[in-house]
């Protein structure tokens, strides 16, 4: 068995960035983080002074590489999306299906199952963003697809048996027993595209909701006498929140407030990426409408934001430059914290012994130079 030896770089370990460390990888997993000169044996990978960080994990990816998951529910489509995002440091992702008919959902879940079974690099599960949402906060979703899940719907939505399932719903639109049933069947349930008030959101949290999808966007804002969904998210110490740090979806000051309010480790970078990420084509079709990114901003004809053209490396850079956080914390928000949110924090998201060797090499401008998934480049 050949040992990979990563050395001569700044390595993000449990202690922070360390320049005197090296990482040993065998059989796709990290076996040691050593200090001092690297061992003479093994296959050496010279980092040339770059930063080696855990591979990014994006829990909200609608598309990439010219492919929209809703339009192409196949293993090949998932592989194309994952390849496109890997260019920007994403080594693990949840392909995200926005609100659609039950048959499209079934195909998407089946494709995700098959992609994981076939070992498509980077696919960790599925994120079903809807269709159990509120029309008043639909964003670019098609409200004609919205419905209240019955027992059969819950069984279908939670059918993936070899990966992670995240379900975004509006807690005022789904009975608490339905939320609890999803959680009992292994789903990670999040609040999003919701017009709920604070009390309704709290009831959802008590039923098992553990996250908030793209905080601040498509949810009731925080006000003095009615905290709304945003207030409930910031007030709850146990839940995670996903944030889109592109300078468009949310004002940087609002994001800094959220980071200050939440316990460390509970704010996670997401892209909400659309097909133009990793593609030269700025447009795509959604629900029969052509949507085009203009100056990097993705909107539909009605003017609603329709996902983003953001990639994870840019999200990390923006977190440093727009929010003023150190690079090591921005990288944790892109790797360690999402892994913990989706229940994979024991195997992904850190450079530590026993963890899978999902790694990304960044240059001084936080641009991806190389990446490895389970030790394979």
Whether 202 and 106 map to the same domain: the answer is yes
> How is 275-334 classified by DSSP, letter by letter?
TTTT-S--EEEETTEEEEEETTEEE-TTS-B-SB---HHHHHHHHHHTT---HHHHHHHH
pLDDT value of residue 294 = 84
267-309 pLDDT tens trace: 999 999 999 999 988 888 888 888 888 888 888 877 788 889 9
Q: Is 358 within 8 Å of 29 (Cβ atoms)?
A: no
- Are 270 and 316 within 8 A, CB to CB? no
**Would 348 be classed as within a structural domain?**
no
pLDDT digit string, tens, across residues 135-155: 999 999 999 999 999 999 999
Residue 312 resides in a domain: yes
Q: Are 316 and 286 in the same domain? A: yes
- Report the C-alpha gap between 313 and 231 in whole angstroms: 29
Give domain status of residue 333, yes or no.
yes
- For the cut 80, the answer to whether the pLDDT of residue 1 exceeds it is no
Q: CB–CB of 237/267 below 8 Å? A: no
Q: Are residues 194 and 273 in the same domain?
A: yes
CB 214, CB 241: distance < 8 Å: no
Of 100, 246, 272, 311, the catalytic one is: 272
Q: Which residues form the domain of 205?
A: 56-341
Average pLDDT of the chain?
Answer: 96
- The model's pLDDT over 17-70, given as tens digits with 9 standing for 90+, comes to 999 999 999 999 999 999 999 999 999 999 999 999 999 999 999 999 999 999
User: pLDDT by residue (tens digit) across 101-123?
Assistant: 999 999 999 999 999 999 999 99
Q: Is residue 266 part of a domain?
A: yes
In a domain, 31, yes or no: yes
Residue 345 and residue 127 in contact, taking contact as beta carbons nearer than 8 Å: no
- State yes or no: pLDDT of 232 exceeds 80: yes
pTM beyond 0.85, yes or no: yes
Percent with pLDDT over 70 in the chain: 100
Q: Check residue 305 and give its pLDDT.
A: 82
CATH number of 89's domain: 3.20.20.140
Quote the number of domains for the chain.
2
Question: Do 322 and 361 sit in the same domain of this protein?
Answer: no
Task: Please indicate, yes or no, whether residues 23 and 118 belong to a single structural domain of this protein.
Answer: no
What pLDDT, on the 0 to 100 scale, is given for residue 299? 83
Q: Cα 246–249–252 angle (5° rounding)?
A: 65
Phi/psi at 4 (5° precision)? -90, 135
Q: Which two tokens stand for residue 113?
A: 């199952």
* pLDDT for residue 195: 98
Are 35 and 107 contained in the same domain? no
Which of 232, 236, 243 lies closest to 262 in space, CA to CA? 236
For residue 347, being part of any structural domain is answered with no
197 is catalytic: no
Q: Are residues 177 and 60 in the same domain?
A: yes
């Amino acid at each position: 068995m050949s040992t990979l030896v990563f050395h001569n770089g700044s390595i993000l370990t449990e202690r922070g960035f360390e320049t005197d460390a090296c990482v040993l990888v065998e059989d796709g997993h990290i076996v040691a983080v050593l200090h001092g000169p690297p061992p003479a044996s093994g296959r050496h990978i010279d980092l040339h002074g770059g930063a080696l960080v855990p591979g990014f994990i994006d829990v909200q990816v609608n598309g990439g590489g010219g492919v929209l998951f809703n339009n192409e529910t196949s293993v090949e489509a998932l592989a194309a999306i994952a390849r496109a995002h890997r260019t920007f440091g994403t080594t693990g992702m949840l392909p995200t299906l926005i609100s659609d008919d039950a048959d499209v959902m079934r195909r998407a879940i089946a494709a995700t199952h098959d992609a994981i079974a076939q070992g498509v690099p980077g696919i960790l599960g599925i994120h079903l963003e809807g269709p159990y949402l509120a029309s008043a906060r639909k964003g670019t979703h098609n409200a004609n697809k919205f419905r209240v899940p019955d027992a059969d719907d819950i069984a279908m939505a939670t059918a993936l048996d070899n990966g992670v399932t995240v379900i975004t719903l509006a807690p005022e639109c789904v009975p608490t027993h339905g939320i609890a049933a999803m959680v009992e069947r292994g789903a990670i349930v999040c609040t999003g595209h919701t017009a709920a008030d604070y009390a309704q959101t709290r009831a959802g949290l008590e039923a098992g909701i553990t996250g908030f999808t793209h905080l601040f966007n498509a949810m009731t804002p925080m006000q003095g006498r009615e905290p709304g969904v945003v207030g409930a998210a910031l007030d709850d110490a146990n839940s995670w929140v996903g944030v889109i740090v592109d300078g468009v979806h949310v004002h940087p000051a609002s994001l800094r407030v959220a980071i200050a309010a939440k316990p460390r480790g509970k704010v996670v970078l997401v892209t909400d990426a659309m097909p133009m990420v990793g593609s030269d084509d700025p447009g795509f079709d959604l629900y029969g409408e052509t949507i085009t990114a203009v100056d990097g901003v993705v909107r539909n004809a009605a003017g609603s934001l329709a996902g983003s053209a953001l990639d994870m490396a840019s999200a990390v850079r923006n977190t440093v430059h727009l929010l003023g956080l150190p690079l090591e914390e921005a990288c944790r928000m892109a790797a360690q914290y999402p892994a913990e949110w989706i229940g994979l924090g024991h195997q992904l998201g850190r450079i530590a012994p026993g963890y899978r060797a999902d790694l990304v090499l960044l240059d001084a401008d936080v641009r991806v130079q190389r990446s490895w998934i389970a030790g394979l480049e």
